[in-house]
Structure 1
Amino acid sequence: MSFLKRGNPMSVFLPNGSTVSIAASYDAPIIFTAITNASEAVVSSAGHDLEAGDLVEVTSGWARLNNRVVRVKTATADSFVLESVNTLHAARFIAGAGGGSVRKILAWVPISQVTESSKSGGEQQNVTYSFLEEDDEHQIPTSKSALSFTLTMADDPSLPHKNVLLEADDDKLPRAVRVNLASGGVIAYNAFASFDNVPSLTKNNIMAVTAVFAVVAKFIRYAA
């Protein structure tokens, strides 16, 4: 008789070897006429040219979908499926109100020579209350604080990411950011980029520049 407990094994991963890219160009918007309430939303768009695996930026009347960067799971001539986009909750995703468009990301530029990555925000916020007749306080979760992350890069003005980051800093338009994890999988963000291209000058340390990405919509992580 065996007394070993069986279950799913746990794993830990290192970020070493992961890569980051930023969107350099987009295709023209593709209008969609309908989107379903489903465990993975199906979008109707006659004559679109999207293929499975494409990453797209979504503009939608559904606030919980608007501005997200998602991956096309499957595609037919007149429809495509948004991978891992669950729109079943009818109160959050009101039927008939999710119309909009998608933009396919055509080109990515790697953000290379990253020496450090840090994250801020994303913490759960709460409202605290207490009734007159009570001695104790209670909390109800509300929203989460705004999320941003910072990349520190070894300074090299000849690298292609410099011009893309400078343009994003100047035009104040969101850009898709893709993280390819060394352990497998992809994280897709949509964020405003602020680029400080004045290098640090600290003795005995490499010269470095920083880019801050203010995330504008909930990210999606794909397994592969």
Structure 2
Amino acid sequence: MAVSLPNGILIALATVYAAAKSVTILSNANPAVATAAAHGFAEGDFVEVTSGWSRLNGRVVRVGAVDTNTFELEGIDTSDVNLYPVGTGIGSVRQITAWQQITQVLDATTTGGDMQFATYSFLESDFESQLPTQSSAQSLTISVADDPALAGYQALRTASEQRTVRALRLTFPSGAISLYNGYLSFNETPSMTKNQVMACQGTFSLMSKPVRYAAPAI
């Protein structure tokens, strides 16, 4: 059993991506192994995955063990061929080459991500039953103390204006990391409540499930 505080969490937004590299083979394994000729990745790099496997498509993952033409997708288990049909997961990856820390974050909250259910009942029954369907859309909202001169503020504004999918990385004091991928909307009009710090809100609408690593790369 363990408890922790959010104090010290660092939040960073992906600002620069390398050109996409084709993945010609993606294995059914734990962890999954991708084949990309002369990929040039190093262990600990972060990549955005485009894949024929919908459960993997759009997720941001950390690169595990590497070889000249192959690399592991750390923490990604594709061994269940019912969920990840053999030979259909190929696509591409693009490396995140630069991050901008978002400073002066006051708080971060999440909404959605809960399981939804389809309900049904038989004529002879006097109660309803439920079947799980899918998770609801998930968002992460950060509140940032208002200062347009900050590089992080400017990065949020640019990402919002460009309306392109971006990665967001949360680094916890323990070294654990959470990775998100989605669209950012940034409200530049700050809150204005007497005796409270003025703050702007950035809402990150996820396009895929987040990826969590409990420890830093070795």
TM-score range, shorter chain: over 0.9
For 1:58, give the aligned amino acid: V
Report if aligned partners of 1:116, 1:151 keep a CA contact under 8 Å in 2: yes
Query: Displacement, 1:63?
Result: 0.5
For 1:109, give the aligned amino acid: Q
CA-to-partner distance for each residue in 1:130-166, whole Å, 9 max, x for gaps? Answer: 1011112111111111000110011111111122212
Residue 185 of structure 2 aligns to a residue whose secondary structure is: strand
Query: Displacement, 1:100?
Result: 0.7
Report if aligned partners of 1:191, 1:216 keep a CA contact under 8 Å in 2: yes
Report if aligned partners of 1:13, 1:183 keep a CA contact under 8 Å in 2: no
CA-to-partner distance for each residue in 1:28-61, whole Å, 9 max, x for gaps? Answer: 1011110000011000111111010000000111
Question: Residue 75 of structure 1 corresponds to which residue in structure 2?
Answer: 66
Question: Residue 196 of structure 1 corresponds to which residue in structure 2?
Answer: 187
Query: Are positions 1:36 and 2:8 aligned together?
Result: no
Pairs aligned (count):
215
Aligned counterpart in structure 1 of residue 141 of structure 2, from 150, 167, 186: 150
Larger radius of gyration, structure 1 or 2?
1
For 1:134, give the aligned amino acid: S
Q: Distance in 2 between matches of 1:170 and 1:61?
A: 29
Query: Are positions 1:17 and 2:38 aligned together?
Result: no
Question: Residue 179 of structure 1 corresponds to which residue in structure 2?
Answer: 170
Report if aligned partners of 1:14, 1:183 keep a CA contact under 8 Å in 2: no
Report if aligned partners of 1:33, 1:100 keep a CA contact under 8 Å in 2: yes
Q: Distance in 2 between matches of 1:135 and 1:210?
A: 47
For 2:59, give the aligned amino acid: R
Q: Distance in 2 between matches of 1:202 and 1:14?
A: 26
Residue 155 of structure 2 aligns to a residue whose secondary structure is: helix
Residue 74 of structure 1 aligns to a residue whose secondary structure is: strand
TM-score by length of 2: 0.96
CA-to-partner distance for each residue in 1:183-214, whole Å, 9 max, x for gaps? Answer: 33100110210001112222211111110000
TM-score by length of 1: 0.94
Q: Distance in 1 between matches of 2:78 and 2:149?
A: 44
Percent of pairs with identical residues:
45
Question: Residue 93 of structure 2 corresponds to which residue in structure 1?
Answer: 102
For 1:59, give the aligned amino acid: T
Task: Within 5 Å, give how 1:209-220 maps onto structure 2.
Answer: 209-220=200-211
Q: Distance in 1 between matches of 2:120 and 2:84?
A: 30
* Unpaired stretches in structure 2, ≥5 consecutive residues: none
Aligned counterpart in structure 2 of residue 137 of structure 1, from 110, 128, 141: 128
Report if aligned partners of 1:168, 1:175 keep a CA contact under 8 Å in 2: yes
Q: Distance in 1 between matches of 2:42 and 2:87?
A: 25
Q: Distance in 2 between matches of 1:16 and 1:164?
A: 23
